[in-house]
């Protein structure tokens, strides 16, 4: 960033955009005073507040207690029974939503499919019956490794219906990463496709499943395969079943039963600060309340909205805002399989225009790519149906925010910048579009009921604009309940740093108006194009290569992706560091984790900067990687020459 850029960001940051009066007039929460009154009520009587929201959903048995909380363990809606799939589907079948479109699907090649609530319900019932026939019972984990096609939604809802927790693995993850997740969750059944479309190519999902299942520690009985790509795939009779045979043959009638409110609904793997991804566990009752409430409040959904959240169901955003939140609200959801620039850079705007999208939710990295591709692409399409825009995944820079508002939103649509995490299950900090004046770059204020704050290490609140830790002081219904198989890690990771608070890694400041500005992670987690990765995970992948002695990985700022991965590698003695080895190592990371983790740059170093106790000094490497000379304190560095050599090699090669 040049000095000039910095000045513009200061200027745009100081602008405030009140909700457009026409939007506020019809919004659920239409003024700042109404928002503040809700916050006050929720703070005064939190349990009553959440119980009222929960009462809008169907429960087959009521709760005895709204919340049972003893740090760090919270149980919500204790004793209640409910079925998330019923709340997403059956609940809408008796009224005018029965024949309303639930899913508007478009494949990358241009094929389309529309499923009404009635039709989606039938498909989910068939899938639930088929899974039941394959022996899946409540409590059995099912791994889902699918492209963004209707079967992904159907499979998730079928699992929820049966009380079989799903663990969705993003299709961009490699066979190794898939195997790790299957092993950790102990899934006995995998739902996949013969392939999915991405940039005109077929992603070989079934081949990856076959490879993952070759791992002797993976114990999977059945693989259900959706025919999507239509090519050849290898087949293991008895183990592999076509979806179109197994599911289509099943009965479309399925009587759902309620599951305990604290019954696991899904686990989703995300990166922490170690080499091993964590299985974030969400449960039935609390998660459904969080996803339902936040979708309703933040996107202010109405029955005539067409809602498009561009996230993949492999991420939590896809769980909460492609599937569960919008369907519980009876919304019409757009689902698109492919890349935003296939066949051309206007694909998203073409989709918005053709399907009449009214609420659009995407990530800053995508917005920055659209900015770079040029205003002429959205300009070619009629985007006048849009009424609200959202952003999620990383801090949005004010320039991108302003572009989004002007070029996509026609200066007319409010923008909701939503802060949350896989762990929080649903949105925590966001404007309410009819109530909260927005400031470009700030996620603004916590939702009513969410006790988010910025504090010092001892838990005391920071003063205005003082940088601190972003925490949540009280439990909320959709919070994670544990890290699957490692409750001790859960307690230590989220409740071990700041006394009495949930803290999951973000730094922030709160301005004089109480607006929160998220400043990014303070731990070794990096955010590459909205995808969360741990530097250690990439390091473990690198050191698993026989030619690598040691590796250190850091993020450096990247204009498009937010952060890019830079790896410093020390090869084993006698190994020649050259371009061929660099290419081999980058490919090795792709095989171990997936293309999303491929280092943008790989630098060889004869040694890494370390403290006397042997800890790699990532801070110094970050400075080297971002091109600045290491200015920070280097007094604890064991060998100063290491850093000088690294910085010198870096500048030469650039
Ligand atoms: C991390 C969580 C939440 C769904 C997508 C990512 C960053 C997320 C924002 C935002 C600033 C944000 C944080 C957070 N983040 N949204 N609006 N402003 N930062 O979920 O993979 O669990 O990552 O994403 O650093 O901790 P995730």
Q: Give the three-class secondary structure for 394.
A: coil
Q: What is the CA(364)–ligand 1 centre distance, in A?
A: 11
In angstroms, how far is the first alpha carbon of the chain from the final one? 17
Give the list of residues 6+ apart from residue 171 with CB closer than 8 angstroms, or none: 145, 146, 147, 196, 198, 203, 205, 312, 314
Report the pLDDT value the prediction gives residue 650, as an integer from 0 to 100.
57
The size of the chain, in residues, is 654
Q: What is the CA(518)–ligand 1 centre distance, in A?
A: 9
CA dihedral 234, 223, 323, 346 (to 10 degrees): 0
Q: Whose CA is closest to atom 8 on ligand 1?
A: 393
121: enclosing H helix or E strand: helix 117-133
Q: Whose CA is closest to atom 23 on ligand 1?
A: 421
Report the pLDDT value the prediction gives residue 640, as an integer from 0 to 100.
63
Q: What is the C-alpha separation between 490 and 484, in angstroms, rounded?
A: 9
Q: Is 233 in the pocket of ligand 1 (CB under 6 A)?
A: no
- Asked whether 138 and 164 are in contact (CB, 8 A), the reply is yes
Q: Is 392 in the pocket of ligand 1 (CB under 6 A)?
A: yes
Q: Which CATH number fits domain 118-257: 3.10.20.30, 2.60.40.1170, 3.40.50.300, 3.40.50.980?
A: 3.40.50.980
Give the list of residues 6+ apart from residue 468 with CB closer than 8 angstroms, or none: 454, 455, 456, 462, 507, 508, 509
Q: How far is CA 199 from CA 130, 533, 590, 606, in A?
A: 32, 23, 18, 39
Which of 419, 505, 533 is the best mutation target for the ligand 1 pocket, counting ligand atoms within 8 Å of the beta carbon and taking the most?
Answer: 419
Q: Is 317 in the pocket of ligand 1 (CB under 6 A)?
A: yes
φ, ψ dihedrals at 117, nearest 5°: -55, -45
Q: Whose CA is closest to atom 19 on ligand 1?
A: 394
Q: Give the three-class secondary structure for 598.
A: coil
Q: Whose CA is closest to atom 16 on ligand 1?
A: 393
**CA-based nearest residue to 317, from 253, 364, 256, 377:** 364
Give the list of residues 6+ apart from residue 354 with CB closer than 8 angstroms, or none: none
Q: Whose CA is closest to atom 27 on ligand 1?
A: 421
Q: What is the C-alpha separation between 249 and 271, in angstroms, rounded?
A: 39
**pLDDT tens digits for range 326-359:** 999 999 999 999 999 999 999 999 999 999 999 9
Q: What is the C-alpha separation between 350 and 354, in angstroms, rounded?
A: 6
**pLDDT tens digits for range 485-520:** 999 999 999 999 999 999 989 999 999 999 999 998
**pLDDT tens digits for range 267-323:** 999 998 888 899 999 999 999 999 999 999 999 999 999 999 999 999 999 999 999
Confidence check: pLDDT of 647 > 80: no
Do the strands 81-82 and 259-260 form a parallel or antiparallel pair, or are they unpaired? antiparallel
Q: What is the CA(394)–ligand 1 centre distance, in A?
A: 5
**CA-based nearest residue to 400, from 2, 13, 7, 3:** 13
Q: What is the CA(207)–ligand 1 centre distance, in A?
A: 31
Tell me which residue has tokens 């190519």.
201
DSSP, residue by residue, 88-115? HTGGGTTSTTTTSEEEEEE-TTS-EEEE
Burial class (CB in 10 A: 0-12, 13-18, 19+), 522: middle
Q: What is the CA(72)–ligand 1 centre distance, in A?
A: 22
Q: Is 312 in the pocket of ligand 1 (CB under 6 A)?
A: no
Q: What is the C-alpha separation between 331 and 101, in angstroms, rounded?
A: 8
Q: Before 72, cis peptide (omega within 30)?
A: yes
Q: Whose CA is closest to atom 6 on ligand 1?
A: 393
**pLDDT tens digits for range 98-114:** 999 999 999 999 999 99
Ligand 1 atom, smallest distance to 316 CA: 4
| pLDDT-above-90 percentage for the chain | 87
Q: Is 278 in the pocket of ligand 1 (CB under 6 A)?
A: no
Q: Whose CA is closest to atom 2 on ligand 1?
A: 421
Q: What is the C-alpha separation between 389 and 415, in angstroms, rounded?
A: 5
Tokens of 574: 């006698």
Confidence of residue 653 (pLDDT cuts 50, 70, 90): very low
Ligand 1 atom, smallest distance to 525 CA: 25
Q: What is the CA(401)–ligand 1 centre distance, in A?
A: 16
Q: What is the CA(425)–ligand 1 centre distance, in A?
A: 11
Q: What is the C-alpha separation between 570 and 154, in angstroms, rounded?
A: 47
Q: Which CATH number fits domain 529-653: 3.40.50.10190, 3.90.78.10, 2.30.30.90, 3.30.300.30?
A: 3.30.300.30
Report the pLDDT value the prediction gives residue 645, as an integer from 0 to 100.
74
Report the pLDDT value the prediction gives residue 239, as an integer from 0 to 100.
98
Confidence check: pLDDT of 7 > 50: no
Q: What is the CA(506)–ligand 1 centre distance, in A?
A: 9
Neighbours of 43 (CB within 10 A): 14
**CA-based nearest residue to 592, from 529, 555, 537:** 537
Burial 404-443 (b: 16+ CB within 10 A, else e): bbebbbeebbbbbbbbbbbbbbbbbbbbbbbbbebbbbbb
pTM reported for the whole predicted model? 0.93
Ligand 1 atom, smallest distance to 430 CA: 17
Q: Is 270 in the pocket of ligand 1 (CB under 6 A)?
A: yes
Higher-pLDDT residue of 384 and 7 is: 384
Report the pLDDT value the prediction gives residue 373, as an integer from 0 to 100.
97
Confidence of residue 183 (pLDDT cuts 50, 70, 90): very high
Q: Whose CA is closest to atom 17 on ligand 1?
A: 419
Where do the structural domains in the chain lie, given as residue ranges? 118-257, 529-653
Q: Whose CA is closest to atom 7 on ligand 1?
A: 394
Conformation bin of residue 614: beta by default, left when phi > 0, alpha when psi is -120 to 50:
left
Q: Is 506 in the pocket of ligand 1 (CB under 6 A)?
A: yes
Neighbours of 255 (CB within 10 A): 8
Q: Is 320 in the pocket of ligand 1 (CB under 6 A)?
A: no
């Amino acid at each position: 960033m040049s000095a000039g850029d910095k000045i513009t960001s200061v200027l745009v940051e100081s602008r405030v955009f009140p909700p457009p009066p026409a939007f506020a007039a019809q919004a659920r929460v239409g003024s700042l005073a109404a928002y503040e009154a809700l916050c006050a009520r929720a703070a005064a009587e939190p349990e009553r507040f959440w119980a009222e929201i929960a009462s809008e959903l169907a429960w087959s048995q009521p709760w005895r207690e709204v919340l049972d909380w003893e740090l760090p363990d919270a149980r919500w809606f204790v004793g209640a029974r409910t079925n998330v799939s019923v709340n997403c589907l059956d609940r809408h079948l008796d009224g005018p939503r029965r024949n309303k479109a639930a899913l508007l699907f478009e494949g990358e090649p241009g094929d389309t499919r529309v499923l009404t609530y009635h039709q989606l319900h039938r498909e989910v019932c068939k899938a639930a019956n088929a899974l039941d026939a394959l022996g899946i019972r409540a409590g059995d984990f099912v791994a889902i490794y699918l492209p963004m096609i209707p079967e992904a939604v159907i499979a998730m809802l079928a699992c929820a219906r049966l009380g079989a927790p799903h663990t969705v693995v993003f299709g961009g993850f490699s066979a190794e990463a898939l195997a790790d997740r299957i092993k950790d969750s102990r899934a006995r059944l995998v739902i996949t496709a013969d392939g999915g479309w991405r940039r005109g190519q077929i992603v070989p999902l079934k081949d990856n499943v076959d490879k993952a299942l070759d791992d002797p520690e993976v114990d999977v009985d059945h693989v259900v395969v959706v025919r999507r790509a239509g090519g050849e795939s290898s087949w293991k009779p008895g183990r592999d079943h076509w979806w179109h045979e197994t599911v289509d043959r099943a009965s479309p009638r399925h009587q759902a039963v309620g599951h305990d409110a604290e019954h696991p609904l899904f686990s989703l793997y995300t990166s922490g600060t170690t080499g091993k991804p964590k299985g974030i566990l969400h449960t039935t009752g609390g998660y459904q309340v969080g996803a339902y409430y936040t979708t309703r409040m933040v996107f202010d959904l109405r029955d005539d909205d067409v809602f498009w959240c561009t996230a993949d169901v492999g991420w939590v955003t896809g769980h909460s805002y492609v599937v569960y939140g919008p369907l519980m609200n009876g919304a019409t959801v757009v689902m698109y399989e492919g890349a935003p620039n296939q066949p051309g850079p206007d694909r998203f705007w073409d989709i918005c225009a053709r399907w009449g999208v009214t609420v659009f939710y995407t990530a800053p990295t995508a917005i920055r790519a659209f900015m770079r591709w040029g205003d002429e692409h959205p300009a070619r399409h009629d985007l006048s149906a849009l009424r609200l825009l959202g952003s999620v995944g990383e801090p949005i820079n004010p320039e991108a925010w302003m572009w989004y508002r002007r070029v996509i939103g026609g200066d007319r649509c409010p923008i909701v910048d939503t802060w949350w995490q896989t762990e929080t299950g649903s949105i925590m900090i966001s404007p309410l579009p009819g109530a909260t004046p927005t400031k470009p770059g700030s996620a603004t204020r916590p939702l009513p009921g969410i006790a988010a704050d910025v504090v010092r290490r001892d838990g005391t609140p920071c003063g205005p604009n003082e940088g601190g830790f972003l925490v949540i002081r009280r439990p909320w219904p959709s919070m994670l309940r544990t890290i699957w198989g490692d409750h001790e890690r859960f307690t230590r990771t989220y409740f071990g740093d700041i006394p009495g608070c949930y803290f999951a890694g973000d730094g922030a400041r709160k301005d004089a108006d109480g607006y929160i500005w998220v400043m990014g992670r303070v731990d070794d987690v990096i955010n590459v194009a909205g995808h969360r990765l741990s530097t250690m995970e990439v390091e473990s992948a690198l050191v698993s290569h026989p030619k690598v002695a040691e590796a250190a990985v850091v993020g450096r700022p990247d204009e498009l992706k937010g952060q890019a991965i830079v790896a410093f590698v020390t090869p084993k003695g006698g190994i020649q560091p050259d371009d061929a080895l660099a290419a081999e190592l980058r490919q090795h990371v792709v095989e171990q984790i997936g293309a999303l983790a491929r280092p943008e740059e790989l630098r060889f170093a004869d040694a890494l900067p370390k403290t006397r106790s042997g800890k790699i000094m990532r801070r110094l490497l970050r400075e080297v990687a971002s091109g600045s000379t290491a200015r920070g304190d280097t007094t604890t560095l064991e060998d100063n020459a290491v850093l000088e050599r690294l910085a010198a090699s870096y500048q030469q090669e650039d």
